[in-house]
Every structure is written in structure tokens, then in C-alpha cells.
Amino acid sequence: MLKNNFYGKQTTFSRSINYYVFTNNDLMKKVILTVLFVLISVPFLSAQNNQTTKNPVGTWKFEAPYAPEGYSSGMIVVGMEEKKPTTSISFTGSDYKIPGEQVRNANDSITFSVFLEGQDIKVMLKMEDETKMSGKAVYSEGEVPLTLTKTVSIN
């Protein structure tokens, strides 16, 4: 009844053993692949959820200690009109607001240009968190580093 032939003929017992081993190997492969898939997928899903963009809309107090006199501090207002970003800048001691042109907001960065004293000044800002930005203003004389802090509006 249970014969195991050396030349390749298998008995009922040896066929059932082979079936059991191959079935469990396939099952183990499926389990391992499923676990690997889950382990690989979880970081990608959580990384996508963590990539929320920071909202730059608001009033920001800026400091530019190396800027020419009269331009070293003030306010930058970032807004949205018709789903497009807008900016304006005013300097301490002046109520005049200079509108930003060519405003772009992407990847937690804001860039815009202002025309001041006969020249274009390119402003490039990067959000560090919800209340801080840093960047630079580039003009014909060079670059001026900027630091911005979001002001709290009291309604």
C-alpha cells in the first residue's frame, strides 16, 4: 500500500506530502508578498498625507537689516483673488502699499516683483512653517536677506 519507488513512482502518501509542502510554500509566498506590499505602501501613503502645503495668506511683518535706510522693515500682505495669489508691500513709516507683480505661489514658496525707485526688485520667499518665512530681495545692487513673521489678526 505505501511503496516508495526509487525510479520516480510516488505512492499516495508521498503525493500528499508533496502537495502539503507545495501548498504551504505558495501560501507562505503569498503571505510574505502581502506583508511586503503593506510595508512598502504605508510610508508612501503617509508621505502623501504629510505633504500639505502651508498657507501663506495673511499679513507678514518683514525685517531686512541690510536693506537701504527706509526699506529695512514693513509689512507684506499675501492674499488670494479669483484663485490667484496677490501681494502688496508697505514700509514702516508709510501707508503706501506697492502691489506685487508676477506673483507665483508653489511648493511653499512665493515669488513676486515690485517696482521701486526706478528698478524691479524680485522677492523670493520660502515658508518655514505656518508663522515664519525667509528669503531674499534681489535688485541691481545685490541681494538682501529677508525674514518674515506672520502677524496675528484680532477680529
Q: Which residues pair with 87 in a beta bridge?
A: 78
> Are 36 and 68 members of one domain?
no
Of 132 and 42, which is predicted with more confidence?
132
What is the model's pLDDT at position 16? Answer: 58
- Angle CA(89)–CA(153)–CA(88) in degrees, nearest 5? 15
Instruction: Say if residue 148's pLDDT is above 90.
Output: yes
> Are 15 and 68 members of one domain?
no
Instruction: Say if residue 67's pLDDT is above 60.
Output: yes
Report if residue 22 sits inside a domain.
yes
Report if residue 155 sits inside a domain.
no
Show the domain range for 98: 58-150
Residue type, 136: K
Instruction: Kindly report, residue by residue over 97-147, the tens digit of the pLDDT.
Output: 999 999 999 888 999 999 998 999 999 999 998 899 999 999 998 999 999
Instruction: Say if residue 3's pLDDT is above 70.
Output: no
| Phi, psi (deg, nearest 5) at residue 116 | -140, 130
Q: Name residue, grid cell 511683518.
A: 61
Q: Which of 115, 117, 135 is nearest to 125 (CA)?
A: 135
> Are 100 and 38 members of one domain?
no
Instruction: Say if residue 149's pLDDT is above 90.
Output: yes
> Are 112 and 139 members of one domain?
yes
Q: Name residue, grid cell 510610508.
A: 43
> Are 9 and 69 members of one domain?
no
Q: How confident is the model at residue 52 (pLDDT cuts 50, 70, 90)?
A: low
| Phi, psi (deg, nearest 5) at residue 108 | 60, 25
* From 5-14, 91-100, 115-124, the region with the lowest mean pLDDT: 5-14
Percent of the chain predicted with pLDDT > 70:
74
Report if residue 73 sits inside a domain.
yes
Grid cell for residue 56: 501663506
What is the model's pLDDT at position 55? Answer: 81
Instruction: Say if residue 30's pLDDT is above 90.
Output: no
Q: Name residue, grid cell 501548498.
A: 23
